[in-house]
Amino acid sequence: MSWFVRKEKGIVTPTEHKKEAPDGLWYKCPSCKTVMLAQAHKENAWTCHNCSYHTQIGSAEYFELLFDQNQFEELSAELSSADPLHFVDSKPYPERIATAQQKKGLKDAVRTGYGKMSGIDIVIGCMDFQFIGGSMGSVVGEKIARAIDCALERKVPFLMISKSGGARMMEAGYSLMQMAKTSAKLALLHEAKLPYVSLLTDPTTGGVTASFAMLGDFNIAEPNALIGFAGPRVIRETIGKDLPAGFQSAEFVLEHGFLDFIVHRKEMKDRLATLFHMLR
Ligand SMILES: [Zn+2]
Q: Give the tens place of pLDDT for each residue, 167-214.
A: 999 999 999 999 999 999 999 999 999 999 999 999 999 999 999 999
Rounded Cα gap, residues 214 and 211, in angstroms: 6
**Three-class DSSP category at 49:** coil
29 is in an annotated binding site: yes
- Domain limits, CATH 3.90.226.10, in the chain: 56-279
Fold of the domain built from segment(s) 56-279: 2-enoyl-CoA Hydratase; Chain A, domain 1 (3.90.226)
Count CA atoms within 13 Å of residue 35 on its CB side.
3
pTM of the predicted model as reported, rounded to 2 decimal places? 0.90
- Comparing CA positions, the residue from 220, 158, 218 lying closest to residue 188 is 158
Give residue 135 CA to ligand 1 midpoint distance, Å: 28
φ, ψ at 246 (rounded to 5°): 75, 10
- Comparing CA positions, the residue from 35, 38, 55, 58 lying closest to residue 47 is 55
Question: Is residue 20 pLDDT above 70, yes or no?
Answer: no
Where does 128-237 show beta strands of DSSP type E?
Answer: 158-164, 196-204, 218-221
Quick one: pLDDT at residue 252?
96
Give residue 32 CA to ligand 1 midpoint distance, Å: 4
48 is in an annotated binding site: yes
- Whether the CB-CB separation of 85 and 170 falls below 8 Å is answered with yes
Band (pLDDT 50/70/90 cuts) for residue 4 is confident
Rounded Cα gap, residues 179 and 250, in angstroms: 22
Give residue 268 CA to ligand 1 midpoint distance, Å: 19
User: Which residues keep their CB under 5 angstroms from ion ligand 1?
Assistant: 29, 31-32, 34, 48, 50-51, 53
Burial class (CB in 10 A: 0-12, 13-18, 19+), 148: buried
150 is in an annotated binding site: no
